[in-house]
Amino acid sequence: MVKTMSATTVIKNKPSSILDLELKSEKSFTEKMVKPILFFSATFSIIIVFFQIFFFFQQASGAFAEVSLWDFITGTSWRPVEQQTYGAVPLIVGTFVTTLGAMIITVPIGILTAIYIAELAPRKLKKILKFIVELLSGIPSVVYGYFGLIVLTNWIRIIFDRPTGQSWLAGSIILSIMALPTVISVSVNALNAVPVEYKEAALGMGANRWEAISKVILPSAFSGITTAIILGTGRAIGETMAVLMVTGNTTIIPSPITNIFSPVRTITAALGIEIPETAIGGTHYTMLFALVIVLYVIIIVINSIAEFLSNKFNKKRDPKYLRKKKKKKPILSLQKSKIISRLNKKIFYSIFLHIFVFGLLLSWSNIWLALIGTIILFLIIKFYKRIPNKVQEKIAFGLIFSAVLMVFTTLIIVIGFVIIKGIPVISWKFLLSYPRDLGRDGGIFPAIVGSLYLVGGAVLFAVPLGIASGLYLAEYTKPNKFNRLIRMSIDNLNGTPSIVFGLFGFIVFCILTGWGKTLLAGQLTLALMILPTIIRTTEQSILSVPLDIREGSYALGANKWYTVKKIVIPSAIPGIITGTILGMGRAIGETAPIMFTAVVFNLRRLPNSPLSPVMALPYHLFLLSTTVPGGQENAYGTALVLFVLVLILYGMATLFQSKIEKHSEKHFILR
């Protein structure tokens, strides 16, 4: 068709063009200001990322005056105090091995549990499991660390008959629990996104449930699950407090490298332990910021891979893309090439797996045992296909159930520990009095109040900004480069380890301002940390407001802002509140962001201004359990109080969420 017609007007219609037209003519000042204000709020995320990078480089700027970059990267000794050596290898190795160990545990358990939740669980159980996963992600890292320190390391010590249980293994186990929720929830989303027709087609062709899952659903969700694993890895790498409490923190490279009982120190732990002990601006200090940059680079690489994968994943689901793809390639040849590439991959992975297992066994035992083990593995893989389908299904389901059981048991053990040990300590006196004798005696009143202040203030700063950015992204922008930059920044902030926020807050709100540790600095730092959560949930809730009721509003002559104000925001509010509560749940348990910015150990008074320091529950727990001998009892009580606060917040969020779902279901049926 010829697109231009003679003697006719050509009008390009764009949604923003309506808005522009109105703004030009009759709109009030506020309406004119809406877009710029929202735009500025959205830009804020970019600014923070920019400043983070800027300040870290600035703080690290003197780093390589005395120590060469080469020594930093390749040096195998990190003894800043005793020998002035700054070799980062032990720390990088520490981070690498603990994370690797964690992922070896988490990936199978997480994926199997995700399969159960997405494909097999009855509806009610699904909800319970989702809540459990949410709760696992909500338990503060100091609580995990505390559990690891008291229970897990003890078990390791006894079971493996070692002088101490504080080790790489303990760190990996704790990290695996902490990465689990990420892996599970992202995988569940990926599995749920597989079109039902695929499954129905497979089942219709006579496949049993496991065949449908393993041959159709899992391959279709492959990139989504990979994203889940990568995000989980990012989570594990960035974790500070829990690792710091259980890994023993010696800066050595495990010897042999597979010695899982060796103590290690991770990059994050080095930052958490050493920053408070250094002189600002000294060599040690600048070297630590060089480490921050290393950590930052690792995290950015990981986030980028995850983003790349999930973009690919979304593109695949985009109907436009599917249509185009179908046209271009005949289905048969596509399948052929896919099968070939899958075959190659399979061979590659299996060779890799054999070598890996062999190496691992070799380092733990002798060459014969290693050979036998590898051959057994080979036989299992070889003959797995020969096992009848029915039996395969049984084995697979057995594994799935045991994975679910393990997740469930883990939660019960951790929570049980916190509750059983904590309850005898709780009393009105404990809740309402001030600590005495370095917290061994007396209560935790100022820590409770301080935590509430910190979280309340964080919400006060983060919510308006988060809502404005989310609104901008959902309503006032189209896909373009700048918009992508905003999104990348938000994703980046979302994946940034909390200790990095802590250091950023420390530089900006404590050093630059000259205030030192203040409540305000802690609130602002926590606000930055929960900002991405609030932006995302706002954007999602706004996008989920159906187009037809917006059109109904436009059809009555409403303009964009009026529609947003009267229809869109009110419908999105429950979702936004849920996001906010989840953000609060996360903020209340965090130690790393407030450790350098806001909290002190012992206070006789409540903070009387935003510029005075505060006490906080997670930090109190951390110090009681690691540095105060005899602080055990009160540590139990503190852990319980912290846990209960988190539980209340997560419970509220879940209730809200189910209310929203119920409401929208009703909405749907009645239409």
Partner 1 sequence: MSIVKSKKISEIYTEKSGKYIKSQPIIGDSPFIIQSKELNLWYDETQALINVSLNIYKNKVTALIGPSGCGKSTLIRCFNRMNDVYDNVDITGEIFYSGLNILGKKIQVTKLRKKIGMIFQKPNPFPMTIYDNVAYGPRIQKINRKCNLDPIVEKSLKKAALWDEVKDRLDDSAISLSGGQQQRLCIARALAIEPDVLLMDEPTSSLDPIATAKIENLINELKKKYTVIIVTHNMQQATRISDYTGFMYLGELIEFDSTEQIFQKPKQDLTKRYIGGRFG
Nearer to partner 1, 4 or 608 (CB): 4
> Is 265 an interacting residue with respect to partner 1 (CB under 8 A)?
no
648 in contact with partner 1 (CB under 8 A): no
Considering only 1, 65, 331, 332, the residue that binds partner 1 (CB under 8 A) is 1
Nearer to partner 1, 279 or 669 (CB): 669
Segments in 385-518 forming alpha helices (H): 389-422, 428-432, 445-475, 481-495, 498-505
Dig out the tokens for 11 from the structure. Answer: 């009008």
Q: Should residue 480 be labelled a site residue for partner 1 when binding is judged by CB under 8 A?
A: no
**Of residues 159, 196, 331, 670, which one binds partner 1 by CB under 8 A?**
670
Question: Which of 215, 345, 484, 667 is in the footprint of partner 1 by CB under 8 A?
Answer: 667
Q: Is 331 in the site for partner 1 (CB under 8 A)?
A: no
Cα 550 from Cα 547, distance rounded (Å): 5
Residue 164 as a binder of partner 1 (CB under 8 A): the answer is no
CA terminus-to-terminus distance, the chain: 40
Give 427: exposed, middle or buried? Use CB within 10 Å, 0-12, 13-18, 19+.
exposed
Is residue 543 a contact residue for partner 1 (CB under 8 A)? no
Residue 495 contacts residue 299 (beta carbons within 8 Å): yes
The least CB distance from residue 546 to partner 1, in Å, is 8
Indicate the residue among 425 and 568 with the shorter CB distance to partner 1: 568
CA contacts within 13 A on the Cβ side of 599: 30
| Separation of alpha carbons 382 and 376, rounded Å | 10
Closer residue to partner 1, CB minimum distance, 561 or 643: 561
Question: Which residue lies nearer to partner 1 by CB, 416 or 552?
Answer: 552
Burial per residue of 93-107, b for 16 or more beta-carbon CB atoms within 10 angstroms, e otherwise: bbbebbbebbbebbb
Shortest CB 16 distance to partner 1, Å: 8
Residues 541, 255: Cα–Cα separation, whole Å: 51
Round to whole Å and give the CA distance between 253 and 88. Answer: 11
Q: Which stretch binds partner 1 (CB under 8 A): 305-313, 540-548, 587-595, 641-649?
A: 540-548
Instruction: Look up residue 135 and give its two tokens.
Output: 């709760």
Please, what is the minimum distance in Å from the beta carbon of residue 474 to partner 1? Answer: 14
The site for partner 1, by CB under 8 A, has a size of 42
Which member of 550, 585, 613, 616 binds partner 1 (CB under 8 A)? 550
CB atoms within 10 A of CB 507: 21
Encoded tokens for 4 = 């231009």
Per CB under 8 A, contacts with partner 1 among 269-308 are: none
Is 332 a binding residue for partner 1 by CB under 8 A? The answer is: no
Alpha carbon distance 279, 118 (integer Å): 51
- In this structure, what are the phi and psi dihedrals at residue 273, rounded to the nearest 5 degrees? -80, -40
Among 416, 424, 456, 552, binds partner 1 (CB under 8 A): 552
Closest distance between partner 1 and the C-beta of residue 17, in Å? Answer: 7
Q: Is 196 in the site for partner 1 (CB under 8 A)?
A: no
**Least separation in angstroms between CB 555 and partner 1:** 4
CA angle 145, 285, 525 (to 5 degrees): 55
**CA proximity to 266, closest of 360, 172, 181:** 172
* Per CB under 8 A, 604 contacts partner 1: no
| DSSP calls for 250-272 | -----SSTT-TTS-B--HHHHHH
Of the two residues 382 and 667, which places its CB atom closer to partner 1 in the complex?
667
Alpha-carbon radius of gyration of the chain: 27
Examine residue 14 and tell whether it contacts partner 1 (CB under 8 A). Answer: yes
Interface of this chain with partner 1, residues 216 to 255, rule: CB under 8 A: none
- Which residue has 């704790």 as its token pair? 174
Q: Is 478 a binder of partner 1 (CB under 8 A)?
A: yes
- Residue 34 Cβ, how far from partner 1 at the closest point, in Å? 16
Q: For residue 4, which amino acid is it?
A: T
Q: Does 4 bind partner 1 (CB under 8 A)?
A: yes
Identity of the amino acid at 355 = I
Determine if 537 is a binding residue for partner 1 (CB under 8 A). no
Among 385, 556, 605, 608, binds partner 1 (CB under 8 A): 556
Determine the interface stretch with partner 1 among 15-23, 62-70, 107-115, 454-462 (rule: CB under 8 A).
Answer: 15-23
- Binding status of residue 319 toward partner 1 by CB under 8 A: no
- Looking at beta carbons only, is 215 or 663 nearer to partner 1? 663
User: What are the phi and psi torsion angles at 599 (to 5°)?
Assistant: -100, 145
Residue 330: both structure tokens together: 């005949």
Instruction: State the minimum distance, in angstroms, from the CB of residue 473 to partner 1.
Output: 16
Q: By CB under 8 A, which span of 111-119, 153-161, 273-281, 554-562 interacts with partner 1?
A: 554-562
For position 551 contacting partner 1 by CB under 8 A, the verdict is yes
Among candidates 373, 343, 346, 345, which has minimal Cα distance to 357?
373
Our finding on whether 541 is near partner 1 (CB under 8 A) is: no
Cα–Cα distances in angstroms (integers) from residue 336 to residues 201, 325, 342, 629, in the given order: 20, 15, 10, 66
Near partner 1 by CB under 8 A: residue from 428, 481, 547, 608: 547
Binding footprint of partner 1 on the chain (CB under 8 A): 1, 3-5, 8-15, 17-18, 21-22, 25-26, 478, 546-559, 562, 566-567, 570-571, 666-667, 670-671
